[in-house]
């Protein structure tokens, strides 16, 4: 078939042009697998080379980030900003500071961001950035000096009408503050809308901290409703114990669910009686200790599994919902088989691409509701866009109003995704629905703007 041949040829060329970037290859493959029916219905996309253009970032920026540590030693890191697609609006996407950050990592995240942002229905394009700098174990002074050096180059490429970075792994309100301070110092402009994830007292938005975790739970709630289910009484596994995981747990609890597992890079905890969120937050957010401390202090039936994933927990109890909120490719095919055996009804990605292709296949074949990250974890960027709205109007909204807007956006994403899956003959397939809905919105804008 011409469309399949076209897709495979373009994919092969993408691999050739981007060697060694396996995460980027995986992200492109996952989208391309949904597009055969779209190209058949819309031959204009093939004629205008939309697939080739959408896989090629509009701009890729790599730069040196020199800084001085507390001992006076000069350190060198590498900074990235991939401005992937601006057909719908200014580039929008986070900055990740982590030693594993490479160009391929940033490109995969930026590619995903294009479709995720499109699904929100808001006027934002897609991009991503970051550095291989590791903020763990660094003093506030070292982090400040690194952020100032990073922004000394990055400021040339961003702006509220051009590119609006936000936080991601390793970049929270502290780092955003240092980055914004340096941007303001260099440009002599208080351009609030240039960064999102700011502190609430100086231009940030309420609910932004909670948004990705809350949004993933809102999306899952809508998926469950299609089966006549809810979170009330549901037993839930959540991977991670960072920002996304903590607020996902908070919202699950608010909706009547019981979270029985969480994790960090040192291992996982299993608390069959339900996670004590106040204790977990105290350990992770205030004391910044490893999750093993939770098991020590909680006692009872809690178990700590050193070096394990939350998906490795052995239990005879059923698991109704799984929310992977840690990192990419964390659920393997074998772990997906275990989740299916535990009776899981829904899996929603709170992180970016946390489920391997084999695991996704297992879940979908078993009839498990599966919410891909570009739909399920879009709450963070949606609330970033709400922060941009508030900055543009010099306004500040209350918590309840902002959370209501977030809830409405996630409901819209679910409706858009489900309706698109129905339209293309695969009802209930959120992967296909999200890929096609995001792609067509970007593709139509690209057609309207001409060959640029």
What are the residue numbers of the active site?
128
Three-state secondary structure call for residue 161 = coil
**Phi first, then psi: what are they for 68, rounded to 5°?**
-115, 125
Angle at 262 between CA 310 and CA 272, to 5 degrees: 90
How far apart are alpha carbons 296 and 281 in whole angstroms?
15
What contacts 54, CB < 8 A, 6 or more positions away?
A: 85, 114, 439, 442, 443, 446
Strands (E), 57-161: 59-68, 74-85, 91-97, 126-131
Angle formed by the axes of helices 243-254 and 211-225, to 10°? 50
Pairing assessment for the beta strands 346-348 and 321-324 based on DSSP bridges: parallel
Q: Which helix (H) or strand (E) holds 213?
A: helix 211-225
Q: To the nearest 10°, the Cα dihedral for 94, 97, 103, 107?
A: -20
- HSE of 217 in the Cβ direction (CA atoms, 13 Å)? 28
Give the CA diameter of the chain: 64
């Amino acid at each position: 078939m011409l469309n399949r041949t076209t897709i495979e040829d373009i994919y092969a060329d993408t691999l050739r042009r981007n060697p060694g970037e396996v995460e980027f290859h995986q992200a492109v493959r996952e989208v391309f697998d949904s597009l055969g029916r779209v190209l058949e219905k819309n031959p204009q996309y093939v004629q205008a080379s939309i697939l080739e253009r959408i896989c090629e970032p509009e701009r890729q920026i790599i730069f040196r980030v020199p800084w001085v540590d507390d001992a006076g030693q000069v350190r060198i890191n590498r900074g990235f900003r991939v401005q992937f697609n601006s057909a719908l609006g200014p580039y929008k996407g986070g900055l990740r500071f982590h030693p594993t950050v490479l160009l391929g990592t940033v490109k995969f995240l930026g590619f995903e961001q294009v479709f995720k942002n499109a699904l929100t229905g808001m006027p934002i394009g897609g991009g991503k950035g970051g550095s291989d700098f590791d903020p763990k174990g660094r003093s506030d002074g070292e982090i400040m000096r690194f952020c100032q050096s990073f922004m000394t180059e990055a400021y040339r490429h961003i702006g509220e009408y051009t590119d609006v970075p936000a936080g991601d792994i390793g970049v929270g309100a502290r780092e955003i503050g240092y980055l914004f301070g340096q941007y303001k110092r260099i440009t002599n402009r208080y351009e609030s809308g240039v960064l999102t994830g700011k502190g609430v007292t100086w231009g940030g938005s309420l609910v932004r901290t909670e948004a990705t975790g809350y949004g993933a739970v809102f999306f899952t709630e809508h998926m469950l409703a299609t089966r006549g289910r809810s979170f009330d009484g549901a037993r839930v596994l959540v991977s991670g114990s960072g920002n996304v995981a903590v607020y996902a747990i908070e919202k699950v609890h608010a909706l009547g669910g019981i979270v029985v597992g969480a994790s960090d890079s040192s291992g996982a905890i299993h608390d069959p009686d339900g996670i004590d969120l106040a204790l977990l937050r105290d350990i992770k957010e205030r004391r910044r200790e490893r999750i093993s401390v939770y098991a020590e202090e909680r006692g009872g039936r809690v178990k700590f599994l050193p070096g394990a994933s939350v998906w490795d927990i052995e239990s005879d109890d059923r698991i109704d919902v799984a929310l992977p909120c840690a990192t990419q490719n964390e659920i393997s095919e074998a772990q997906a088989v275990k989740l299916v055996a535990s009776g899981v009804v829904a899996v929603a990605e709170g992180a970016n691409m946390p489920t391997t292709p084999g695991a996704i296949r297992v879940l979908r074949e078993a009839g498990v509701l599966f919410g891909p990250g570009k739909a399920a974890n879009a709450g963070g960027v949606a609330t970033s866009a709400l922060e941009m709205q508030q900055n543009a109007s010099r306004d500040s909204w209350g918590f309840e109003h902002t959370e209501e807007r977030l809830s409405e956006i996630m409901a819209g994403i679910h409706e858009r995704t489900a309706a698109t899956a129905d339209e293309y003959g695969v009802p209930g397939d959120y992967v296909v629905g999200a890929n096609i809905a995001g792609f067509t919105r970007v593709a139509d804008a690209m057609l309207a703007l001409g060959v640029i």
